[in-house]
Amino acid sequence: MEDTEPKKGLNRRQFLKVSGAARAAVGTVGLGLFGYQSGKDPSSYTGEESFQGAVEQFGRDKYSVHIPTYEIVGKTSRIDARTDVVFSRFPNLMRNWDDEKGLESLDENMQAYYRKYPEVLKDDLYAKNEIFPKRRADNKKFQDQFVLAEAWSHAMGAVWPEGLNEPPEISDFPKPDRSGKTKEPYALKSHELTAKLIKTMSYQFGSAVVGITKLNPDWVYKYPMRNRGLDTDTPLEVPKHWEYAIVVATPMSWDPLYANPNYGTSHDAYAKSRIVAYRLAEFIKQLGYAARPHTPGTEYDLMVPPIAIDAGIGEQGRHSVLITPEMGSNLRPAVVTTNIPMACDKPIDFGVQDFCATCKICAESCPSGAITFGEKKEIRGYKRYELDTPKCHNFWYSNLGNIGCRICVAVCPYTRKSNWMHRAALDITANDPTGLSHTALTEMQKKFYPGPDAQDYYMPSLGGKNASFREPPWWLKSEDFIDFNG
Ligand code: SF4
Ligand code: SF4
């Protein structure tokens, strides 16, 4: 519609173009000046107070004393976990107590303990005979109020999803309770409220970002990748209950990430995202709906990056990895497929496609040559940058330290901790129609974060120097802690 508006002065699009370009020019110069100052000081390269991560929040040294503040006033003894610890003693009582036999119904240790501490027996029997029956009765009357709290608590304790080795028709659904009854799905008030709840819970469970989308069946593998209750030689029919996909993600530890490839690891974020997805799947099942976690490293049956794009988490970069506004490419995502009805997010466009067209830092830094300098091409019907995965995979074993490589993630200008400077740069690049700021910021990145020659990342026997993009954090310098001559 804007193009048909009468041409009096600037129309809206022209105005946005001009003001975007002006903003880009002023902003880039400002960031350049600030960036030059901060770029000189390695400790401020993330724009944060400390590049070593969290700082101790309380000065304990000032308060250190020679003797602990508990007092020894008699003969000390160790704890007998069978009786002194209520979590062993009480279940024992619940299992074995017989009103007629009294103390005689218990084993010798328990008898001896309760004889020594009769007031504890009184308290334990009060819990067994009074509190527990009343709790069961009250629970029936008032439990609705605490459905979410209980689901959240169960989910927090989920370390491995029950039955994940069974096919989705079984493993994804809530298990019957002891009486054989299966939980009916709770009726939910609105799609929007459910999405809000799911997102808040995802953050509670440890996710840094979360997005929701309808699952496009094109992103599900034709054959399953791993066992997980599915036959890898039988085509995978997309289960009907994989209606929605919730994408969660956590970042890798920042300082080792910048010291890739030798000192970084994907496993920290793999494990964190896995736990978030397990917890989220458990939470959804507690509400009576189906849910299946798809988690890194390789426990999934679908392609995560395009689902994350659909869910508005970010865009795909030249290096094929997802780029988010908050963490750049420093994230490891997981997906939960589910049938809980929710409002979905929209994809986002914050300028990555234009930026990647000219940047190419990842391609220049990639030791294996897996990242293209060229244009996008058609792959399985979609236009994208091609990644030469065998070359990339071979490099994983061509450097020492931790297996793998994340150099393209570390060098990407978007991979910066979220701070005001990062956010300002994002805003400029996303709104710059001229592309001038892209070139300027790419040059800044190269100037302030120079890396070794790509060949130097290889291990020495392959002509390299065991190089890392940046210095490792002090706590990963083996030579400073271990006496290799000792
Ligand atoms: S992970 Fe390493 S080898 Fe693979 S594409 Fe990225 S930079 Fe290249
Ligand atoms: S390094 Fe540059 S070209 Fe590569 S993904 Fe990041 S922004 Fe795109």
Q: Quick check: CB of 371 below 6 Å from ligand 2?
A: no
Q: Which ligand is nearest to the CA of 367?
A: 1
Query: What is the atom index within ligand 2 of the atom nearest the CA of 360?
Result: 3
Q: Quick check: CB of 385 below 6 Å from ligand 2?
A: no
CA 416–ligand 1 middle distance (angstroms): 18
Task: Please name the residue whose Cα sits nearest to atom 2 of ligand 1.
Answer: 405
CA 387–ligand 1 middle distance (angstroms): 9
pLDDT for the residue numbered 29: 52
pLDDT for the residue numbered 57: 62
Query: What is the atom index within ligand 2 of the atom nearest the CA of 355?
Result: 7
Query: What is the atom index within ligand 2 of the atom nearest the CA of 371?
Result: 4
pLDDT for the residue numbered 23: 54
Mean pLDDT of 367-394: 96
Which pairs count as long-range contacts for 268-271, CB under 8 Å and 24+ apart, including other chains?
A: 269/296, 269/331, 269/332, 270/295, 270/296, 270/297, 270/332
pLDDT for the residue numbered 9: 47
pTM of the model: 0.86
Q: Quick check: CB of 449 below 6 Å from ligand 2?
A: no
Query: What is the atom index within ligand 1 of the atom nearest the CA of 406?
Result: 1
Task: Please name the residue whose Cα sits nearest to atom 7 of ligand 2.
Answer: 356
Task: Please name the residue whose Cα sits nearest to atom 8 of ligand 1.
Answer: 366
- pLDDT score of 2 more than 60: no
Q: Which ligand is nearest to the CA of 408?
A: 1
Task: Please name the residue whose Cα sits nearest to atom 3 of ligand 1.
Answer: 392
Q: Which of 405, 409, 411, 459 to mutate to test the pocket of ligand 1 (most atoms within 8 A of CB)?
A: 405
Q: How far apart are CA 164 and CA 171, in angstroms?
A: 5
Give 292: exposed, middle or buried? Use CB within 10 Å, 0-12, 13-18, 19+: buried
Task: Please name the residue whose Cα sits nearest to atom 2 of ligand 2.
Answer: 359
Q: 31 falls in which pLDDT band (50, 70, 90)?
A: low
Give 41: exposed, middle or buried? Use CB within 10 Å, 0-12, 13-18, 19+: exposed
pLDDT for the residue numbered 45: 38
CA 356–ligand 2 middle distance (angstroms): 5
The pocket around ligand 1, CB under 6 angstroms, is made up of 319, 366-368, 370-371, 392, 395, 405-408
Q: How far apart are CA 371 and CA 356, in angstroms?
A: 12
Q: Is the dihedral of CA 415, 421, 426, 428 positive or negative?
A: negative
Task: Please name the residue whose Cα sits nearest to atom 4 of ligand 2.
Answer: 362
The CA-atom distances, in angstroms, between 47 and each of 43, 190, 408 are: 8, 41, 21
Instruction: Please tell me which residue, 163 or 172, carries the higher pLDDT value.
Output: 172
pLDDT for the residue numbered 59: 78
Q: Which ligand is nearest to the CA of 369?
A: 1
Mean pLDDT of 171-185: 89
Query: What is the atom index within ligand 1 of the atom nearest the CA of 411?
Result: 7
Query: What is the atom index within ligand 1 of the atom nearest the CA of 319?
Result: 5
Give 342: exposed, middle or buried? Use CB within 10 Å, 0-12, 13-18, 19+: buried
Tell how far CA 202 is from the center of its chain. 10
User: Could you report the per-residue pLDDT of 269-312, keeping only the tens digit for each?
Assistant: 999 999 999 999 999 999 999 999 999 988 899 999 999 999 99
Q: Which ligand is nearest to the CA of 385?
A: 2
Task: Please name the residue whose Cα sits nearest to atom 4 of ligand 1.
Answer: 392
- pLDDT score of 140 more than 90: no
Task: Give the three-state DSSP class for 131.
Answer: helix
Query: What is the atom index within ligand 1 of the atom nearest the CA of 396?
Result: 3
Q: Quick check: CB of 318 below 6 Å from ligand 2?
A: yes
- pLDDT score of 6 more than 80: no
Q: Which ligand is nearest to the CA of 315?
A: 2
**Contact in structure between 238 and 332 (CB atoms under 8 Å):** no
Place of tokens 């459905």: 147
Strand partners, 212: 246
Percentage with pLDDT > 70 across the chain: 88
